Structure 1
Amino acid sequence: MMRIRARTVGLALIAALLPWAAEAEDGNWFSNMLKYGGTTVPPSQGPDLGEVYCPTIDVGENGAALRSYGGRADDNAALRSQITLGRLARECVRLADGSVSVKVGVEGQVLLGPQGRPGRFEAPVYFTIKAGDQTIVTRARKVPVSIGAGEAQGLFSVIEDNLVVPRPLSESYEIGVSLHGNPGKAAAPRKRKKAPANAAVPTESAPGAAQ
Structure 2
Amino acid sequence: MAFSEPVDLAGKSPRERILLTAHDLFYCEGIRATGIDRVIAEAGVTKVTFYRHFPSKNKLIIEFLDYRHERWMTWFKGALERHGGHRSKGVAALVPALNEWFSDPGYRGCAFLNSVGEVGQAIPEVVEITRNHKHDMTEAIETLLPAARSRWADAKALALAVDGAILHAQFDSPAEALKPLERLVKMIKEPAPARAKAS
Same fold (TM over 0.5): no
Instruction: Give the TM-score band, short-chain normalised.
Output: under 0.3
Which has a greater percent of strand?
Answer: 1
TM-score, with length taken from structure 2: 0.23
Structure with higher helix content: 2
TM-score (norm 1): 0.22
